[in-house]
Amino acid sequence: MRSLEKENSVIEELMKGEEKVNMLVSFFPDEKAKELLREVRSSIMKAISVFNESSEVSEVCQESDRRSESTGRKRKGVTVKEGKGGSRRRMSSFPSRKVVAKTAEDGFSWRKYGQKEIFGSSSPRSYFRCTHKHDRNCQATRQVQKSEEDPSMYVITYMGEHTCKDPINATSQLLASAPHHASSCLISFASGNNGENIELPFGPFSSLKQENDEEVLSNMTSGSSPPPEFTTFEQMLPEMTPEETSGFDCSNSDCLDLGMIQGFFDFDSIINQEAMFPN
DNA sequence: AAAATTTGACCCTA
DNA sequence: TAGGGTCAAATTTT
């Protein structure tokens, strides 16, 4: 096994551990126990960040679309079309971003395609894909679940890249997704800050949306502690449930190139600001 | 009528 | 085999 593979393997195991710790937290009513678990989680996150410093996570799991060719399975007595349905390969190493926010709204147009009860979680997880999945071949998806620690908050995990763009929501899109463009800065945050919390000084937008508490927990798959404050655009919108927000439509206007979006922010200068990565 | 959501089936990974 | 992600028919909403 090559050393990079070893590293990835270690990171993977650490993440599993961190996930389990997250689950455990909900099982312990005692605050002291919770605090201890949070410390364990913090240590794991630090260990992960040490690896992330040396090995960049750039590998994108291409959707291999390995659905079984045809099983002719049935649904409520109806034969399902060949090649339809079923699940896809789990994107274990997909560069996802986990965010905690008051609202599940992020300025994108999402279409809900599923909901599941999650083992060990009190609230179900909702699955969304971009509304423009088909008309613009947009592969972005997200999962929304109420936070275990604070049910008034939503834990949102973004996956995939928005290849659809919308001028009205371009800025919030930038903040919410586009992993290989806009959010590359978010990935940089984590690695540049050893996974600790970072405050995002999005100056011009602070005045637009002041009360937002979206928090970027990680560029990978798990959270850091404590989470950073994160001011974003979408907080101008009223608070909505994941169900309600799924109907939010950003499709009235047409596409905008991300390059133009990047014109709003000088990411390099933002990333390079030392103030963003206090030690 | 069209679009969005709900929900159970299906299937992959661990 | 359990848990989780996705599909798509059925149902609801716009």
Amino acid type, A91: M
**Quick check: is A40 in a domain?**
yes
Query: Is residue A213 located within the same domain as residue A157?
Result: yes
Note whether A106 and A189 are same-domain residues. yes
**Residues A144 and A35 reside in one and the same domain:** no
Nucleotide nearest A92, CA–C1', reads: B13
- Contact A112/A133 with Cβ under 8 angstroms? no
Pair (A20, A100) in one structural domain: no
Domain membership of residue A87 (yes or no) is no
Would you write out chain A's pLDDT as a tens digit for each of its 279 residues?
A: 444 455 556 666 666 676 666 667 666 667 777 777 777 777 766 666 655 544 333 333 333 333 333 333 334 333 433 333 444 444 444 567 888 888 888 888 899 999 999 998 889 999 999 998 888 888 889 999 998 888 888 999 998 878 876 433 444 444 444 333 333 333 323 332 333 332 222 222 223 333 344 555 544 443 333 333 333 333 333 344 554 444 444 433 333 333 333 333 333 333 233 223 233
> Footprint of strand C, using CB within 7 A?
A 67, 75-76, 78, 80-81, 83-88, 90-91, 113-114, 116-120, 125, 127, 129, 141, 143, 247
Positions in chain B where some atom is under 7 Å from a protein CB: 4-14
State the nucleotide closest to A86 in CA–C1' terms.
Answer: B10
In a domain, A147, yes or no: yes
Task: Please compute, for residue A249, the number of CA atoms within 13 A of its CA located in the half-sphere on the CB side.
Answer: 4
- Asked if residue A171 and residue A46 are part of one domain, the reply reads no
Which three-class secondary structure state does DSSP give residue A127? strand
Nucleotide nearest to A112 (CA to C1'): B5
Is A79 among the domain residues? no
Neighbouring residues of A189: CB distance < 8 A, sequence distance ≥ 6: A198, A200, A216, A219, A271, A276, A277
* Domain carrying residue A185: 93-276
- A238 in the same domain as A145: yes
Quote the number of domains for chain A. 2
Question: Would you tell me how many other CB atoms lie within 10 Å of the CB of residue A279?
Answer: 6
| CA of residue A125 to C1' of nucleotide B7, angstroms | 14
In a domain, A22, yes or no: yes
| Closest alpha carbon to C1' of B12, residue | A89
Does A179 map to a domain? yes
- Are A33 and A115 in the same domain? no
The answer to the question of residue A69 being in a domain is: no
Whether residues A234 and A133 share a domain: the answer is yes
Same domain, A112 and A222: yes
A214/A144 same-domain check: yes
